[in-house]
Structure 1
Amino acid sequence: MVHAASSCVTSAEAWFRGVEDLYAVPDRPGLDPRRLDLYMLAMRLSLVAGPLRLFDGDSPDRAFMQGVADHNAKQAPALLPSV
């Protein structure tokens, strides 16, 4: 059972790598990098909270959703400003 969950996490991470390539931050002059980081942080936090809310119900692919939440929880701290 543990092996199946870990393979789903791997597939979730692979899926996100593909999505991140498709939706890379645009390289356009005049865009505020801090605002883009804030938007990315909001997206990451949403992609942690959303899948976790599904656990209240009977989500058909809990392991994949856990992988989505775990991946984004690992990525979010990198977007926080250093103090």
Structure 2
Amino acid sequence: MPTRRAPKPGQRKKPNILRERGITYVDYKDIALLRQFISDRGKIRARRITGLTPRQHREVTRAIKNAREMALLPYPGAAAARGR
């Protein structure tokens, strides 16, 4: 059975934004919250970057995709294409 590695000194878990704020439902209309999980290029940030649980990450991803459909958030590459 593999052993777990000890965390490196100076490394700690990322804070879970949703848990800190007590958010249980991620709404696609809450653009201010969703923008924290999107890079400047419009891509959805990874779980290891955001510190979300797998379930929360799925909910955030679904909300971001719904917001993109409703034209509330940009698609990846849309911001880069405008700058050309």
Q: Please, what TM-score do these two structures have when normalized by structure 2?
A: 0.30
Q: Report the structure, 1 or 2, having the larger helix content.
A: 1
**Higher RCO (Cα < 8 Å, 6 or more apart):** 1
Pair member with larger Rg: 2
Q: Please, what TM-score do these two structures have when normalized by structure 1?
A: 0.30
